Every structure is written in structure tokens, then in C-alpha cells.
Amino acid sequence: MTGIDLIEIYISAGRKLATEKGTSAQFETADAFEYRCPKPCDAALNWWTSFGYSKDDEVNLRMLRRAFESIKPGGRFALDFMNVPGVLRYFKPQVVTYGKSETEGDILLVRESHIDVPSGMLHKTWHYHLESGRHVTHETSVRMYDPPALRRLFETAGFENVHFFGDLDTSKMMNLESPRCIVAGQHPR
């Protein structure tokens, strides 16, 4: 197994955990828009809305093409994405959550969101209020691909047998109430 991410701290954490657990998992800092597995693998995953961060469909499609090129014929690829129809139906411009971090203690997160309808982008500003009194702000924007658009992108990248699931329980097909949109496709044999 190989894990990749652009953020070195995630890669370091993965390496540390693999060493602690005695596994042969490898982790590399890499850009999913460019990364191809050196040896085609049986399956690939792109998880927790780590896709769609460009408003340009061709740029986002490049990531799917790299995944396609990284798996063997007959291999499978799964993409975990937000359930855009559900997000639109239950849109909340502000969400407040509380959490705890080993390094930062108690955290209050205020997420402010707005939808740019003409561009199809969901913009979020994440305000982290840390126990130390420090305040960190982070902004993200993601393209709001609905299932038909995701199917077109998958098929354009070369995948076939594209299916949609509403969460990790693959017996549940996607609907408006689904917490996620998991898209699964197969590399032709």
C-alpha cells in the first residue's frame, strides 16, 4: 500500500504509524494531479473530498486520469466526495463544531460557507479558535460536482462500470439523505 498527500505532516504521521504497527505501507509527499504509481496497483482511493479544488474541469479531470493510469486493467478506483444534491438541499451558511486535539487542546471551529452559483464553486472559510487563544483561518473552494457530472468525468478518464454509494456501507445507494457521494469505477480489462 502506498499513501500520497501534498502535506508533509500527514505523510510523516502515516510513516510513523506504519512503523509503529510494523506494516509495509509506504507514504510519499506527492501531487495527485501528477502522481502515477510506479507499478500499477489493484485499487486506488481518493478520500474525504480531496478532489475538485479547481474551477477548471480539465484540471480536476487530470487527477482522475492519474488515478486511472495508476491501476491495473480490471482494478477499481473509489472517490469520496460531498453529496452535492444533499448539500444544496440542506445548505447551512455557518456550522459550529467543537473538537479536541492532542497538541492544541479544545478547539472551536466556525465554518462559514457560500455558494457561487455561476461558477459552481462552494467557498468555505474555516475559523479555528484554539484553547491557547490563538485563532487560525483557512479558506477552501471546491467544485460542486453532482453525480451526472462525476459520471461524465469518470468515463472521460477511462473508467467503466461507474456506481454511486451514499456512504461506506455499499448496500446503500446514494440519495438526498446520504452523508457522502462515493463514486466507484473500474479500469477496463
State pLDDT tens for residues 83-96.
999 999 999 999 99
> What pLDDT was estimated at residue 170?
77
> Which residue has cell 471546491?
142
Q: Which of 86, 83, 91, 89 is nearest to 147 (CA)?
A: 83
- CB count within 10 Å of CB 147 equals 16
Using the predicted structure, report yes or no on whether residue 172 has a pLDDT greater than 80. no
pLDDT 10s digits, 35-61: 999 899 999 999 988 899 999 999 999
Phi, psi values for residue 36, rounded to 5°:
-125, 135
DSSP H or E run through 136: strand 135-143
The β-bridge partners of 81 are 181
Could you give the CA distance from residue 10 to residue 18 in angstroms, rounded to a whole number? 12
Q: What is the pLDDT of residue 122?
A: 97
Please state the domain extents for the chain. 2-85+145-186, 92-143
How sure is the predictor about 162, in pLDDT bands with cuts at 50, 70 and 90? very high
CATH of domain 92-143: 2.20.25
C-alpha 22/C-alpha 31 separation (Å) is 26
Which top CATH class is 2-85+145-186? alpha beta
CA distance 154 to 120: 18
